Amino acid sequence: MDQPSGRSFMQVLCEKYSPENFPYRRGPGMGVHVPATPQGSPMKDRLNLPSVLVLNSCGITCAGDEKEIAAFCAHVSELDLSDNKLEDWHEVSKIVSNVPQLEFLNLSSNPLNLSVLERTCAGSFSGVRKLVLNNSKASWETVHTILQELPDLEELFLCLNDYETVSCPSICCPSLKLLHITDNNLQDWTEIRKLGVMFPSLDTLVLANNHLNAIEEPDDSLARLFPNLRSISLHKAGLQSWEDIDKLNSFPKLEEVRLLGIPLLQPYTTEERRKLVIARLPSVSKLNGSVVTDGEREDSERFFIRYYVDVPQEEVPFRYHELVTKYGKLEPLAEVDLRPQSSAKVEVHFNDQVEEMTIRLDQTVAELKKQLKTLVQLPTSNMLLYYFDHEAPFGPEEMKHSSRALHSFGIRDGDKIFVESKTK
């Protein structure tokens, strides 16, 4: 059912967390807070509030009574206001300024691009450590204002905001450790490098679904731009060159990489993709969410040598020579067909006659007798078969059981089948 428009934060809070809808519960993590309210408050003794408030998709457009917010939300540390109708930063500020313990704030999918965020309003966010602005279409000017007023901001989410460029502020934000900026349209590396300037302490950078076309930066410059980067996601980037993968080695602390869905890797098999990437990134310990073990790394590096062993020298990557120094020049592995043999060429001996013939090994002894009936001129009921392995030290083995499959005897090319008559 659609929520009515023009609802306040306090109105929704009262409805959702009233004792009828959110009764007191005991147990670990289930504690609620029943604050003392101002005298005469219409909500006195009515609300049971947890420290994590989820008020998404409730049609909220404004704050409501600020005194009531302050009375009931003094202990709240996380607030999800995503997918509401908040379009005025002043209303957001009225809410946040009365939640003094707030550390996590989700404002995704609110039309906040319709108003300008002033620094006086942004100051009310100063205690927030994790801020989510996905699909809010927040301008870079708004982001800059937030960064100036949030000295302890550690995680920022700016996905689905239609960014095609990045605008650098006059000052950087040294506190930020994680940036999610997926599903935008940041195709040019000249825009991505600005993120390194803005966030020098960045630990995790998630750039999935941005169609980044190349990493165009000198190796020494990359190390200076992202000196603390430990994890990067380039899922569905537009990378088409192995040189772009090699560039990742320039990030001095990089340990984790996600590279699914990039054009460069599409022609390769699943095994080739993983092994070739692991071999090129010696410092990466996790690829596409899976840990790279020491055994897998060695297998991948040896695979890499064999993969390029017959490639013309001018096309061999530099990493190949490094690995040859480590392992030596390895020959390609012999191809061994482990599939069971489907037929065998055997000698059929009957009386003094010898006939060479090919028999199917998926048939039974009874079916073989039928195949031999015309050759030896005996009815199957009067036929005795013996199998002789030409490499075995034992004598012939009688093939007694009619339903037994021939492959279970281990018959190979060159073996012998002896046929005798029961009435001989």
- The amino acid at residue 245 is I
State how beta strands 290-291 and 286-287 pair: antiparallel
- Identify the three-state secondary structure at position 116: coil
Neighbours of 20 (CB within 10 A): 8
Q: How far apart are CA 280 and CA 297, in angstroms?
A: 10
Residue 106 lies in a domain: yes
Last residue of a domain, one of 279, 297, 327: 327
What CATH number is attached to the domain comprising 412?
A: 3.10.20.90
The answer on 269 and 238 residing in a single domain is yes
Q: How far apart are CA 119 and CA 122, in angstroms?
A: 5
User: CA end-to-end span of the chain, whole Å?
Assistant: 92
The answer on 172 and 289 residing in a single domain is yes
Between 70-79, 230-239, 335-344, 408-417, the lowest mean confidence (pLDDT) is in: 335-344
Model-level pTM greater than 0.85?
no
| Domain span holding position 413 | 343-421
Residue 236 lies in a domain: yes
Q: Report pLDDT digits (tens) over 325-367.
A: 999 988 766 565 666 778 999 999 998 899 999 999 999 999 9
Q: In what order do the strands lie in the sheet with 343-350?
A: 353-360, 343-350, 416-421, 383-388, 397-398
Whether the predicted pLDDT of 21 surpasses 70: no
The answer on 291 and 173 residing in a single domain is yes
The answer on 308 and 394 residing in a single domain is no
pLDDT of residue 41: 43
Q: How far apart are CA 150 and CA 286, in angstroms?
A: 32
3-state SS string over 387-409? EECCCCCCCCEECCCCCCEHHHH
pLDDT of residue 127: 95
What would the two tokens of residue 305 be? Answer: 């040598």
Q: Report pLDDT digits (tens) over 123-140.
A: 999 999 999 999 999 999
What would the two tokens of residue 244 be? Answer: 């772009």
The answer on 417 and 303 residing in a single domain is no
Residue 116 lies in a domain: yes
The answer on 353 and 322 residing in a single domain is no
The answer on 394 and 301 residing in a single domain is no
The answer on 404 and 261 residing in a single domain is no
Mean pLDDT over all residues of the chain?
Answer: 89
Residue 52 main-chain phi, psi, to 5 deg: -115, 115
Tokens 């073990």, residue? 293
The answer on 287 and 354 residing in a single domain is no
Q: How far apart are CA 389 and CA 418, in angstroms?
A: 11
What would the two tokens of residue 245 be? Answer: 């993968």
Q: How far apart are CA 47 and CA 21, in angstroms?
A: 10
pLDDT of residue 338: 62
Residue 204 lies in a domain: yes
The answer on 322 and 245 residing in a single domain is yes
pLDDT of residue 1: 40
Q: How many domains does the chain have?
A: 2
Between 37-46, 101-110, 354-363, the lowest mean confidence (pLDDT) is in: 37-46
Residue 364 lies in a domain: yes
Burial 205-231 (b: 16+ CB within 10 A, else e): bbbbbbebbbbebeeeebbebbebbbb
What would the two tokens of residue 93 be? Answer: 């500020």
What CATH number is attached to the domain comprising 53?
A: 3.80.10.10
Last residue of a domain, one of 301, 327, 353: 327
Residue 332 lies in a domain: no
Residue 40 lies in a domain: no
Q: Report pLDDT digits (tens) over 242-253.
A: 999 999 999 999
Residue 2 lies in a domain: no
Q: How far apart are CA 193 and CA 31, in angstroms?
A: 45
State how beta strands 104-106 and 130-132 pair: parallel
What would the two tokens of residue 275 be? Answer: 């092994």
pLDDT tier at 26, thresholds 50, 70, 90: very low
The answer on 229 and 111 residing in a single domain is yes
Last residue of a domain, one of 263, 292, 327: 327
The answer on 323 and 381 residing in a single domain is no
* Interacting residues of 11 by C-beta distance below 8 A, sequence separation 6+: 64
Whether the predicted pLDDT of 324 surpasses 80: yes
Q: Report pLDDT digits (tens) over 171-207.
A: 899 999 999 999 999 999 999 999 999 999 999 999 9
Q: How far apart are CA 151 and CA 173, in angstroms?
A: 8
